[in-house]
Amino acid sequence: MSLNDQQKKAVEIIDGPVLIIAGAGAGKTRVITHRILNLIRNGVAPHEILAITFTNKASKEMRERVHALLAENVEINRPITLQGQPFISTFHALGVHIIREHAGILGLTRHFSIYDRADSRRAVKEAMAECAIDPKKFDPGTILNMISRAKGDGQSQAEYADRAQDYMQETVADIWEKYDAIVAKDKALDFDDLLLKTAQLLGRHEQIRRHYAAVWRYIHVDEYQDTNKVQYQITKYLASAHRNLCVVGDADQNIYSWRGATIENILNFEKDYPEATVILLEKNYRSTKTILAAANSVIEKNKLRKKKNLFTDNEDGEKIGLMISYTEADESRAIADKARELIAAGISPRNIAVLYRANFLSRVLEEAFIKKQVPYQLVGVRFFERKEVKDVLSYIRAALNKESPTALPNGGWADIARIINVPPRGIGKATIAKISAGQESSLPNAMRAKLANFWKLLDDIRQHVREESPSEAVRFVLQETGIEKLLRSGDSEDEERLLNARELVSVAAQYDHLPPEEGIESLLSNAALATDQDDLATDQEAVKLMTVHASKGLEFDHVFIAGMEQDLFPFKHLDEADTSESEKEEERRLFYVALTRARKKVYLSYTIIRTVYGAQRINMPSEFIDDIDRELIDSPHEPQKPSGAKALFIDF
């Protein structure tokens, strides 16, 4: 009785493939859980039902809701007796289940180990050493990401090696071979293996494939638009016998192509299953009509999508707010002030979120929320806790602890240990222990030469810190240490780290009015205080600060979207001359996701000037703002005069 007509249709179909296009806030989890309930009411044994989600949180929530529905349904318990329960898990948990039952085929035991990211990175470094490959030339993190992406595409090491087209790919293939041997020696699998090995078991062993295809007669996959090639293949194998595959998703919310998610999986579902029933869930239960009108007007420009138009019975609601500020500091203060105003009006802080496209924007937002005493929770790592930021600050602290070119650092050995191999220099922990004990003279000549270069680098940093402005000193550290070069040569995650490291230049510029050493000391002190703040509990009554990617699946009454500037949102990658059409469409989908997180009100915010990498940049408003009908947007107020602003001279 609680389902609308389209939801009922999706629930009542028993046999055959089903594609459910579920728009944001359309109640897809309710549909999946009630569909499972209806299957069991129609005589399907619970253990014959499989439901796959993407996160542990989502699978736990779905499992609890299904169990609650089954427990309260009298028709099922009398006279039907439940045999087992539906199998509800993530793709990775499903892989562990299948691999454990057939571990011997893979040369494993049921109790095999699973490598986490740190384990995998260590194994890659070990493999590089065995291949005599210099980690200064090839970043281990980049190598690991390339292996991970290839596994997500369903490639084995041998297949990757056969298809290698250049020196980089050939090098990765060689490292991958050694890496696999190291993992195998540990009787372990990494996270990507949990999917790849599962697909290989199902694809290469007909008996195993037929067994699971018979066990799970009815299969459900949530967030189908986020599946990669190997997850697609696993799903296809499992549905090969009965073809009772129900997938739920929304091409308009495909925002993880950088992780290997393939939008074609959901767009081509009807080609894979021509007999499929397609159901559109367009009724939104979350947002106001104004928010949905804005979201629809933005996403309709995309070509790679299943056409739909979200609607709602909710009220029209308030117009979308447009906040214009001179600088990022003014923007953050304005957002913090508005959040404080909402809280004073009775809005719970946990129902307010500030979203941004790039992580580095969080730093100035945090400062404003602290100064305005607005409770907040940063979803993810706080700015001064990020590795790349801590690395740069550790270089400065280590340099300041080295009082003269001939002296060893006066303390600060934790900082030395942290950065002596960032970027990699081939200096190990045993060497650090010896030099900290005053035994550097006992080391081999080659190692002493490496150390001499490192001490010289610290001396140069110390000189710059004492003579140059804080922002120039931080910029010098980024360039001379090789951190900037290392992050430039990496993947999209490293690009994000580089943006964070460059943001530290902008932070340091706030202390440029002080004498050099005093400015650096103030920067280090404030960074330490920020780092020492206790983590906020997940259920804390606090405004949430997070990236748009992190917000997917969440909803809030009031949503601020900061940094709505061209080349920031939509985002333009560093050193990229142009953006491909597929990247443009994904950026638009990301904005669509941001808009549809809001239940009652959206605020779009942009700055006229933003400091990026220590330099002020004049901004154009994001093209996404123009995609929205102007009648849906409040007339913006003129930006207030920037507090403490200096004259800006622009040479055209």
Span 310-332, average pLDDT:
95
CA-closest candidate to residue 86, choices 53, 52, 46:
46
Note the pLDDT of residue 499: 86
pLDDT over 60 at 530, yes or no: no
Name the β-bridge partners of 561: 355, 604
Cis (ω within 30 of 0) for the bond into 515?
Answer: no
CA-closest candidate to residue 393, choices 451, 486, 470:
470
Q: In this predicted structure, which of 49-58, 191-200, 311-320, 328-337 has the lowest mean pLDDT?
A: 49-58
pLDDT over 60 at 410, yes or no: no
CA-closest candidate to residue 24, choices 344, 268, 252:
252
pLDDT over 80 at 254, yes or no: yes
Q: In this predicted structure, which of 176-190, 267-281, 377-391, 396-410 has the lowest mean pLDDT?
A: 396-410
pLDDT over 90 at 479, yes or no: yes
Q: In this predicted structure, which of 364-373, 397-406, 525-534 has the lowest mean pLDDT?
A: 525-534
Span 557-568, average pLDDT:
96
User: CA 219 to CA 246: how far, in whole Å?
Assistant: 6
User: CA 294 to CA 121: how far, in whole Å?
Assistant: 43
pLDDT over 70 at 516, yes or no: yes
Contact 380, 520 (CB under 8 A): no
Span 233-250, average pLDDT:
95
Span 251-280, average pLDDT:
92
User: CA 141 to CA 139: how far, in whole Å?
Assistant: 5
Grouping H, G, I as helix, E, B as strand and the rest as coil, residue 220 is strand
Span 154-170, average pLDDT:
92
Q: How many residues does the chain have?
A: 652
Name the β-bridge partners of 324: 606
Q: In this predicted structure, which of 137-151, 325-339, 416-430 has the lowest mean pLDDT?
A: 416-430
Note the pLDDT of residue 82: 47
The H-or-E segment that residue 113 falls in is strand 113-115
pLDDT over 60 at 537, yes or no: no
pTM for this predicted structure: 0.80
Contact 147, 172 (CB under 8 A): yes
Residue 329 sits at φ, ψ, to 5 deg, of -65, -45
Classify the C-alpha dihedral 457-463-465-469 as positive or negative.
negative
Q: In this predicted structure, which of 57-66, 235-244, 532-541 has the lowest mean pLDDT?
A: 532-541
DSSP string covering 57-74, please?
HHHHHHHHHHHHHHHH-H
Contact 419, 395 (CB under 8 A): yes
Span 222-236, average pLDDT:
95
Query: At a CB cut-off of 8 Å and minimum separation 6, what does 498 contact?
Result: 388, 484, 487, 488, 490, 574
Span 48-73, average pLDDT:
87
Strongest mean pLDDT among 366-375, 495-504, 517-526: 366-375
pLDDT over 80 at 118, yes or no: no
pLDDT confidence of 74, banded at 50, 70, 90?
low
Note the pLDDT of residue 119: 79
Note the pLDDT of residue 342: 97
Enzyme catalytic residues: 28-29, 222-223, 253, 597
Contact 595, 628 (CB under 8 A): no
pLDDT over 90 at 439, yes or no: no
Pairing state between β 18-22 and 245-249:
parallel
Note the pLDDT of residue 650: 44
